[in-house]
Structure 1
Amino acid sequence: MKNNTIKKTGLKTIFALSLALAGFNAQAQSQTADITKQGSTQLGQVGNGTAGSQGSVRVIDNKGTIKFLQVKNGITQITNSAPDGGITTTWQLGGTLTDDTYIDATNKVFALDGIKLVPNTLLPSTNAADGSKHGTAAVPATTSGYTFLVRDEATGETLKMAPSQLVISGGDTPPVNNPGDPITITDPTLPTKITKVWVYRNGAKLLGDVDYTLAAGTLTINGSNLNEPNDYTLLPNDKIEVQWVN
């Protein structure tokens, strides 16, 4: 009775594996011959007999062909007719993430080969939307052009950036109300470095950190400079132009 039970169990196992292997033909597969078959797994042992290692199991597919089933890095692999190589790995990328997903590339190269260049006919996106998806059926469906992928250093999250966000510029033409009055401009897009701010008076450029200063998002243009040869006094008819890039 015991032997019959073992035989029945073995037949059921082979039958179940045969059905499972038959389904591999319907999956998206990639084939390569540079993955070596692992050593056989024995009963009572882990992998090749060493704790933590991985091994292979000999199985028979629905055509009667002997193959070897193994797991490598969490991916199920099954050999083809060449036992020492020719691994057929079933793995399909795509779908929806159900959890936060991180890939640790420490001391490794994480790269994508075969990426196409942006064609000259594809212009920067002017209507990029948060959470938009590709395709005509996407919501919103009117987004177009290209964006950049960037990384949030605090969370590691991958985000997209519109080309208009890469370089932020601004400007102002403040009036001079009274002779010698200083001018103050506060704008959140002002840069933190004064070398990225240009101030002109009647077409002549003023000197940064001499005629104007920048601190904490506020630009201050001195109403006058009494130091020769850079002495001047702002007058009501002066044309002041301020430009910056961030």
Structure 2
Amino acid sequence: MSHCTICPRDAPDGQHVCPLHADEVRAWLTELPRQARLLAAFVAPAGRPAQGRLGGTGRAHAPLPVDLRVLTLLGPGRADALGGDDDGTVPILAWLGAWAGHIAYTYPSVARDAHGTAHVQPCDQAWPRQGQEWPRRRETITGWCIWLTRYLPYALTLSDVGDLHQQLGDLIHRVRDLTHAVPHRQEMAAPCPECDAAGLVRTDGQWGISCTVCGHHLEPQAYDDHAAAVLKAYQAKNEPAA
């Protein structure tokens, strides 16, 4: 086991983040295309979002026909995956493409020459694949999120995956501030097996269950086994004497 670069928890062998933070990255990549569609609803003056709280801060208002923050996030631009902190002016599509390019460049590509000798070198490019758009290589937010999700197992082995987590988290929270669409958190009945506090929650879009008190992370099956054991112990303790 290795140590997570984000928190004190252990990470699986060969990876640099724990299952909790890997789960967060996966969930954010799933959520981002939906949030982008909500942002697009703000582009038209007096537009109404498809979901989220009415009166979100991203709504178009006078005297400008649209909110410049929304245009910045949805517009064109360029980004550097390892270029430092984002000041809020990096477009979503550019940021996704930059990280896809960084991951693709570090991903080992193996080819053999005419003599049968294997050569390992970085991939030249990364392209999003989305249905019939391939091989036209049209870049979309959804396409890049699908690409990054598929290559996430490899990205977790990179030493800078902590930067990916931080930047993506900052981006998704900045978008949520505009759309006011926040994933629902369900409180679990059983206490945390690590700290015994009633802090276990399951967040929409995330596979695992985490404790808001100590940060302990559980797979769904592990939680089911734990909850069954807690219930059995409670029933045995409160069973009336014969």
Q: Whose helix fraction is larger, Structure 1's or Structure 2's?
A: 2
Q: Calculate the TM-score normalised by the size of structure 2.
A: 0.20
Greater RCO, 1 or 2 (C-alpha within 8 Å, sep 6+): 2
Larger radius of gyration: 1
Q: Whose strand fraction is larger, Structure 1's or Structure 2's?
A: 1
Q: Calculate the TM-score normalised by the size of structure 1.
A: 0.20
